[in-house]
Amino acid sequence: MATSHTENCWDAVAEEMRWRRSTESSRKAQDQFGEPLSKSSPGLYVLCLAQLDAGSALMRSGCFSSRAVFVAELRRLITEPTTPSQPVPDLQAYRDAQKSWLGSLLRQYGHDG
């Protein structure tokens, strides 16, 4: 069975719930492992934080009403990256990681990425 983001119809409630669960889980992991990870593997830390911050921005934006609104918000975040919610060793690496992740989501959800 295909997931809701690959079907012709958009299930706003299911998408928002899926993103909310994922963002909450990521936030818990960041709270628990973020500081040690930032020291042991700064690149992975930057990637995880960039994704978490972008996911949190998506949740705050209320962009799940339609696929078109969601895709528009992905595009906006690509051009207007989030500010790191925690210190990062390399701001450009954070922005690059976020842009790359959002681009992959745009290709997945936008079908025209």
pLDDT in tens, 66-84: 999 999 999 999 999 999 9
Yes or no: say if 86 and 49 are a contact pair by the CB < 8 Å rule: yes
pLDDT band at 1, cuts 50/70/90? very low
Q: Which segments of the chain does DSSP mark as H helices, in order?
A: 12-40, 42-61, 67-79, 91-110
Q: Judge contact between 50 and 101, C-beta under 8 A.
A: yes
User: Residue 110: which pLDDT band, with cuts at 50, 70 and 90?
Assistant: confident
pLDDT greater than 70 at residue 3: no
Residue pLDDT, tens place only, 12-53:
999 999 999 999 999 999 999 998 999 999 999 999 999 999
